[in-house]
């Protein structure tokens, strides 16, 4: 049989940047792959790249039928198109030609319930389905992403050898594992993105404090982040931050970072994470604060007029007066510790959300394994994920990372520095919502008694919602207003 008529091992439909790069990665690992896109120029472009990047075994197909028939059975087809309706359209176009036992793998950032609906939908035709989170951006897709496949275990088994080779490799294996049933792969990727929002916000706050209170230049900031990347904060986001500060502006003086408009974009996975946390009654304040900051950053014109209005009302900038007495070296070290402690809280919130969903859906997620597959390829890859993996290996039922003996020790050691940074930022009028949210989360979670007793009393007074007592079982209701008036009358009698 000639090479041209040999069947491909796998197919990929949807050739935007992520799709092209993942297809080339698969071909690069020695697996013949068929590719298809509705816009034929994208197919040609991918075939050209495969040729240029080492005559890789990648074959372009120009209609859904030829594409499907060019793949060996049981067929596995990855689709990488925009989430929502385009996925349904692609499934409809392909499933006309797929047979029972074939599998569709959606590699997009899809809402997990859409995946669960599609699993049901295609199962009527005997087709298997996987929703697979892919993290690492275009670089990761080409050279080794973190993969989070959930859904049909059979569909996963059929391509396990490919996924293991294509994923990023770390010392304890490839950054891929079977996540669980249903939409678990998409859900895990969504929470990964929520943690990513928190991480990026915390890093931007560290930058803000160092720049505006410490008075550090971009070249100093670059050195500091590079140094942090050699220690406990070693991670992809810290590494790229060090690089960002180095880049000069080609259209003028100074560094490019200072010329970028302070409005943050978003695709929606952060919002979904916060909505899910609310639905499941899981506190995720650091992730929520980072989402709120993106919303506020979008109000650029409003913020500019607010700055002017408040200046006219007599608001003075505190930053200058704080700067004078600042010990730079100590500030840098304090910010490093505050960033680390805040990050632990952010990851703890993400893991607790995953646990709540896993219990609700019976997914039986393995948190140590999730931390392991995030150690390479993905955007939140970081050295301390190994510590998270070990924490869950020590105790798979860990209530929160904050109470793991190792992490608890680290939080306690860092809390003084953490409080100094947040206090300094507040007195200088610099907002650190992520760090404040993490610290409040820590302070609320570690207290055995909260002022929630007063909230319960209020709820019982105006809505007869009842309350429990600390000293006897049962639900109680009190006629608060009547008793309060009575005691007023009693006080009057004594005067």
Q: What is the CATH number of the domain that holds 464?
A: 1.20.5.320
**Residue among 189, 211, 357, 375 flagged as catalytic:** 189
Q: Are residues 272 and 344 in the same domain?
A: yes
Q: What is the pLDDT of residue 60?
A: 97
Q: Does 193 count as an annotated binding residue?
A: yes
Beta bridge partners of 35: 12, 60
pLDDT at 325 (0 to 100): 74
At residue 270, the pLDDT reads 86
Is the same domain home to 114 and 229? Answer: no
352 & 418 share domain: yes
In a shared domain, residues 348 and 466: no
Is 459 annotated for ligand binding? yes
447 labelled binding-site residue: no
| CATH code for position 238 | 1.10.1040.10
State the catalytic residue, choosing from 110, 116, 196, 255.
196
Q: Do 200 and 165 belong together in one domain? A: no
435 in any annotated domain = yes
Largest CA distance in the chain: 108
Does 477 fall in a domain?
A: yes
Is residue 94 situated within a structural domain? yes
Residue 381 is assigned to a structural domain of this protein? yes
Evaluate whether residue 466 is within a structural domain: yes
Residue 268 counted as an annotated binding residue = no
Q: Is residue 384 in a domain?
A: yes
CATH of the domain at 164: 3.40.50.720
- Residue 466 vs residues 85, 153, 485: alpha-carbon distances, Å: 47, 47, 20
Q: Which of 178, 200, 215 finishes a domain?
A: 178
If asked whether residues 253 and 279 sit together in one domain, one would say yes
pTM for the model: 0.91
Is 189 considered catalytic here? yes
* Owning domain of residue 481: 454-489
Q: Which residues contact 195 (CB under 8 A, 6 or more apart)?
A: 287, 346, 347, 350, 380
Residues 144 and 264 in one domain: no
- Which of 178, 209, 237 finishes a domain? 178
Judgement on whether residues 157 and 302 belong to the same structural domain of the protein: no
Is residue 90 helix, strand or coil? Answer: helix
- 409 and 461 share one domain: no
Q: CB neighbours of 273 closer than 8 A, spacing ≥ 6?
A: 190, 191, 193, 194, 197, 284, 287, 350, 353
Q: Is residue 383 part of a domain?
A: yes
Q: Is 38 one of the annotated binding-site residues?
A: yes
Strands (DSSP E) contained in 289-347 are: none
Residues 252 and 295 in one domain: yes
Residue segments in the chain with a per-residue pLDDT below the cut of 70: 1-5, 318-324, 490-495
Q: Binding residue per annotation — 142?
A: no
Let me know how many helices (H) and strands (E) the chain has, helices first: 21, 11
How many folded domains does the chain comprise? 3
Q: Which of residues 178, 203, 237 is at a domain's end?
A: 178
Torsion of CA 8, 14, 19, 23, to 10 degrees: 10
Distance of alpha carbon 348 from alpha carbon 354, whole angstroms: 10
Q: What is the pLDDT of residue 264?
A: 83
Query: Is 435 a known ligand-binding residue?
Result: no
Q: Among 135, 187, 150, which Cα is nearest to 385's?
A: 135
Give the C-alpha separation, 362 to 416, whole Å: 40
Has 1 been labeled as part of a binding site?
no
196 an active-site residue?
yes
- How confident is the model over 142-182, as pLDDT tens digits? 999 999 999 999 999 999 999 999 999 999 999 999 999 99
Evaluate whether residue 3 is within a structural domain: no
Q: Are residues 173 and 310 in the same domain?
A: no
Question: What is the per-residue pLDDT for 404?
Answer: 95
* One domain for residues 464 and 442: no
């Amino acid at each position: 049989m000639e090479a041209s008529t040999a069947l491909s091992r796998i197919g990929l439909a949807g050739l935007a940047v992520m799709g092209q790069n993942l297809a080339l990665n698969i071909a690069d690992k020695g697996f013949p792959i068929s590719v298809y896109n509705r816009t034929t120029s994208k197919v040609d472009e991918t075939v050209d790249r495969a040729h240029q990047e080492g005559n890789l075994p990648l074959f372009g197909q120009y209609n859904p039928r030829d594409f499907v028939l060019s793949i060996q059975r049981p067929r596995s087809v990855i689709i990488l198109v925009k989430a929502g309706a385009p996925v349904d359209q692609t499934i409809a176009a392909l499933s006309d030609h797929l047979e029972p036992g074939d599998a569709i793998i959606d590699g997009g950032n899809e809402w997990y319930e859409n995946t669960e609906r599609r699993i049901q939908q295609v199962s009527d035709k005997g087709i298997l389905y996987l929703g697979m989170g892919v993290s690492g951006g275009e670089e990761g897709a080409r050279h080794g992403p973190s993969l989070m496949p959930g859904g049909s275990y059979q569909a996963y088994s059929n391509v396990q050898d490919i996924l293991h080779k294509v994923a990023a490799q770390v010392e304890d294996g490839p950054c891929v594992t079977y996540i669980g049933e249903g939409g678990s792969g998409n859900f895990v990727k969504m929470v990964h993105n929520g943690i990513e929002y928190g991480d990026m916000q915390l890093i931007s706050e560290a930058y803000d404090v160092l720049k505006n209170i410490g008075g550090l230049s971009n070249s100093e900031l670059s050195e500091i982040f590079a140094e942090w990347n050699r220690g406990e904060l070693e991670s992809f986001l810290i590494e790229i931050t060090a690089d960002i500060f180095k880049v000069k502006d080609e259209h003028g003086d100074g560094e490019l970072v200072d010329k970028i408009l302070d409005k943050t974009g978003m695709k929606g996975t952060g919002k979904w994470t916060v909505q899910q946390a609310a639905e499941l009654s899981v506190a995720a304040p650091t992730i929520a604060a980072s989402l709120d900051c993106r919303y506020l950053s979008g109000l650029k014109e409003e913020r500019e007029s607010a700055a002017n209005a408040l200046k006219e009302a007599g608001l003075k900038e505190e930053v200058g007066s704080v700067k004078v007495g600042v010990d730079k070296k100590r500030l840098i070290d304090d910010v490093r510790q505050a960033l680390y402690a805040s990050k632990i809280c952010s990851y703890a919130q993400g893991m607790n959300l995953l646990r709540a969903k896993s219990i609700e859906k019976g997914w039986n997620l393995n948190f140590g394994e999730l931390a392991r597959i995030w150690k390479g390829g993905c955007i939140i890859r970081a050295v301390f994920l190994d510590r998270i993996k070990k924490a869950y290996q020590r105790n798979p039922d860990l209530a929160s990372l904050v109470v793991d003996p190792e992490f608890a020790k680290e939080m306690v050691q860092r809390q003084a520095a953490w409080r100094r940074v947040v206090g300094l930022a507040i007195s200088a009028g610099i907002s650190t919502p992520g760090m404040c949210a993490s610290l409040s989360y820590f302070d609320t979670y570690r207290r055995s008694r909260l002022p929630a007793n007063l909230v319960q009393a209020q709820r019982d007074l105006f809505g007869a919602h009842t309350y429990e007592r600390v000293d006897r079982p049962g639900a109680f209701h009190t006629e608060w207003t009547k008793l309060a008036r009575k005691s007023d009358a009693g006080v009057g009698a004594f005067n």
